[in-house]
Structure 1
Amino acid sequence: MVIWIILLLMTAAAVMAVLWPLSRHRALAAQQVDPDTQFYREQISEIERDRERGVLLPSEAEAAKAEAGRRLLRATGATAADAFAAVGEPALRRRRAASTLALSVIPIIALALYGAYGSPHLLTHPPEQQAQASGDKMDLMAAVSQIEAHLAQNPQDGRGWEVVAPVYIRMGRIDDAVKAYESAVRYLGASADRLANYGEVMVLAKDGLVSSEAQKVFEQAVQLNKASPKARYYLAVAAEQDGQIEKAKQAYGELLSSSPEGAPWGDVVRQRLASLGGEQPVAGQEDAPQIGAADIARMVSGLAERLETQGGSPEEWARLIRSYAVLGQRDKAVAAAERARQALAQNDAGLKTIDAMARELKLTDAAP
């Protein structure tokens, strides 16, 4: 509260400094010398000096002084009238209006600008909470900086890459996480969990699309550990995206039946299976997949937007067409096939890939 009182006093002082000149007394305004009045007075003095030097005759000097005096009187009368008008009742009303406007509008504008560009939230949180939040962020950034400095000197430290990879995901640096997991696999060797994590971050980097490269990583993980739930889940997602519905339903069902009671990925798999019209076996690990059934529409939309704005490979266009077909959005699948042909007009092999996908999905309306 004290800070607001201080700001109010500072604002009032600034406003008064601006309004002070408007409150000058009438006498002060009248005391100011008008340039025209000063000119005629100097002219009368000059005529008197010319008479004394003999330049003008006494009669000429008197006539000139009389004319200059009349002009002086007119100038003096006009100046006095103007001065009185300036400080009269109309001027008083203007001053009051200006004062009211300044005292009300200036603080309002100042508060609006402060709310838009300032940091009012800093006054609503205790300093201890602000310090803790800033400290946590600084600690994380400092830790990441230290690890990155260490890895710059020791790029073959696979353990360091494996430690920093999930931190990159938390920070939203997905591309850096992909590189970190890739380095961890390279220097620590392939394991089922390490490969599953690597494949998952590749899927995240593609907005939920299980690319052919990621699918190979998951297949390798399953070869090392047939029970790897994360790898099996994403292989089922890949089959679903490829339009292999029965294969996907079977993979989801087998994953559920082999999962322990209360497995964290159970609900996600049931939703995916239900979306395909499959049964929901009763089955029940902190290794739950990060992408669920509710994300499928989002990831397809993200893929479509990326292909529209940045382009992509024939395989990615084919995957988009499959995804629309899986979702039952046949019109969008047909439109995607047509856009793919336009984007790949100079790529004969790519056009063959799209045509083959259209035939596989029986998109006869999309046939060339």
Structure 2
Amino acid sequence: MVIWIILLVMTAAAVMAVLWPLSRHYAVAGQVDPNTQFYREQIAEIERDRARGALLPSEAEAAKAEAGRRLLRANGLQDAAVAAVGEPALRRRRAASALALSVVPVLAIAIYGAYGSPHLLSTPSVPVSQETAKLDFGTAVAQIEAHLAQNPQDGRGWEVLAPVYMRMGRVEDAVKAYESALRYLGPEANRLSNYGEAMVLAKDGLVSVEAQAAFERAVALDRTAVKARFYLARAAEQDGQIEKAKAEYTELLSASPADAPWVAVVREQLSRLGAPQPGSAESGGPQIGSEDIARMVSGLATRLETQGGSAEEWARLMRSYAVLGQRDKAAATAKQARQALAKDEAGLKTIETMARELKLIDSAP
């Protein structure tokens, strides 16, 4: 809207620049009557004749008086003409000015709207940048969130938003979104599997009791739910049930197509556990990645045992052992943490919470 106001002001200024010279002051005052000019020149000529001596001073004064009377009469006629003719002309000029000021801008805008490109004022002429795309994506997410705030019972909306949260790294929000989707749409194998996976990611890879329950419900609804079966095998591994974990990984691998995208991950898990894989006569040893992880966990354990640390660090070590399937070490770490944090009430609560999540609560002294 501002751009149109600016254009109108510019148009009006251009019209006034053209019409201003036609105003009364400049149009009338700027005109010189030829008779008046003639008599002015006659008086100048009389002055020159007197200067040369061609006329006596008395003769020159008489001639100037007669020329002056004629000049006055000529000026009077000129003023009358202005009064008789100038006013109607002035009115016509004013009417023309008003017409130009009103019609010309409107006509110009109408022609521009019909044949011009007014949309270029609001359409970017360059490709949308990555920053702009991110902004638009964030705006779209905000709009969906606003819709769901007004319509929280829209289960489909929550189910669409949950994986978006996952890609954005907002895992806790994804967990809540899947909870809402389950609440309003009901349980379904894929929905339960995604919900459980979000909870696992929120716990840094730990299959909590709640996540395991979601995976078990998913498999009960659909035995072929790959994601749920994979995480149930991991849960067994974390619980120290290594043989059960091997059996479940092997069964999942046997039932999967050779080119399934999850086959490589399942083979890695079996290789890490030292289990023979279908189609292979070898038993896999620990992978380099696993060795690196074990080395880092060992370094953290050594530091906590010798120098101590925060409750969060002790809890992280407990979780790391559980993820690696070393539940005995996880339980021993919980005991050490309780001793090291005996005077830290808040720290002890953190350790007990982690022990419950890892299902180590029975190992407490």
TM-score under structure 2 normalisation?
A: 0.51
Q: Percent identity?
A: 50
d(CA) in 1 for partners of 2:177, 2:201: 14
CA contact (8 A) 1:169 1:177 kept: yes
Q: How many residue pairs align between the two structures?
A: 217
Pair 1:210-2:207 in alignment: yes
Structure 2 residue identity aligned to 1:247: K
Q: CA deviation at 1:148?
A: 0.4
Structure with greater Cα Rg: 2
Pair 1:165-2:165 in alignment: no
CA offsets 1:43-88 (integer angstroms, 9 cap, x no match) = xxxxxxxxxxxxxxxxxxxxxxxxxxxxxxxxxxxxxxxxxxxxxx
Counterparts of 1:6-17 in structure 2, within 5 Å, are: none
Pair 1:240-2:210 in alignment: no
CA contact (8 A) 2:172 2:202 kept: yes
Aligned to 1:249: 246
Structure 2 residue identity aligned to 1:249: K
d(CA) in 2 for partners of 1:266, 1:252: 10
1:261 aligned counterpart, secondary structure: coil
Q: 181, 188, 192: which is aligned to 2:189? A: 192
Residues 263, 138 of structure 1: CA spacing in aligned structure 2 closer, same or farther, 3 A cutoff? same
CA contact (8 A) 1:239 1:247 kept: yes
CA offsets 1:152-203 (integer angstroms, 9 cap, x no match) = 1000000000111111111111111110011001101100000000000000
Q: Point out where structure 2 has 5 or more consecutive residues left out of the alignment.
A: 1-124, 281-286, 302-308
Aligned to 1:326: 326
Structure 2 residue identity aligned to 1:210: V
Aligned to 1:66: none
d(CA) in 2 for partners of 1:313, 1:219: 30
Residues 321, 133 of structure 1: CA spacing in aligned structure 2 closer, same or farther, 3 A cutoff? closer
Structure 2 residue identity aligned to 1:178: V
Q: 245, 267, 272: which is aligned to 1:275? A: 272
Aligned to 2:152: 155
CA contact (8 A) 2:318 2:331 kept: no
d(CA) in 2 for partners of 1:163, 1:230: 19
CA offsets 1:84-109 (integer angstroms, 9 cap, x no match) = xxxxxxxxxxxxxxxxxxxxxxxxxx
Q: Point out where structure 1 has 5 or more consecutive residues left out of the alignment.
A: 1-126, 284-291, 359-367
Residues 163, 294 of structure 1: CA spacing in aligned structure 2 closer, same or farther, 3 A cutoff? farther
Counterparts of 1:94-243 in structure 2, within 5 Å, are: 131-243=128-240
Residues 323, 132 of structure 1: CA spacing in aligned structure 2 closer, same or farther, 3 A cutoff? closer
Structure 1 residue identity aligned to 2:160: V
d(CA) in 1 for partners of 2:320, 2:252: 25
CA contact (8 A) 2:314 2:333 kept: no
d(CA) in 2 for partners of 1:317, 1:138: 39
d(CA) in 2 for partners of 1:296, 1:171: 30
d(CA) in 1 for partners of 2:130, 2:331: 47
Residues 160, 275 of structure 1: CA spacing in aligned structure 2 closer, same or farther, 3 A cutoff? same
Q: CA deviation at 1:322?
A: 3.8
Q: 325, 335, 338: which is aligned to 2:336? A: 338
Counterparts of 1:289-328 in structure 2, within 5 Å, are: 309=310, 311=312, 321-323=321-323, 326=326
CA offsets 1:197-221 (integer angstroms, 9 cap, x no match) = 0000000000111001100010010
Q: CA deviation at 1:136?
A: 1.4
1:184 aligned counterpart, secondary structure: helix
Structure 2 residue identity aligned to 1:183: S
Residues 217, 313 of structure 1: CA spacing in aligned structure 2 closer, same or farther, 3 A cutoff? farther
RMSD between superposed Cα atoms in Å: 4.0
d(CA) in 2 for partners of 1:147, 1:343: 45
d(CA) in 2 for partners of 1:317, 1:340: 13
Structure 2 residue identity aligned to 1:177: A
Residues 137, 324 of structure 1: CA spacing in aligned structure 2 closer, same or farther, 3 A cutoff? closer
Structure 1 residue identity aligned to 2:277: Q
CA contact (8 A) 1:229 1:255 kept: yes
Structure 2 residue identity aligned to 1:225: D
CA contact (8 A) 1:161 1:180 kept: yes
d(CA) in 2 for partners of 1:256, 1:183: 32
Structure 2 residue identity aligned to 1:187: Y
d(CA) in 1 for partners of 2:131, 2:236: 45
TM-score under structure 1 normalisation?
A: 0.50
Structure 1 residue identity aligned to 2:217: Q
d(CA) in 1 for partners of 2:190, 2:205: 19
Residues 242, 275 of structure 1: CA spacing in aligned structure 2 closer, same or farther, 3 A cutoff? same
d(CA) in 2 for partners of 1:334, 1:191: 39
1:260 aligned counterpart, secondary structure: coil
Residues 227, 140 of structure 1: CA spacing in aligned structure 2 closer, same or farther, 3 A cutoff? same
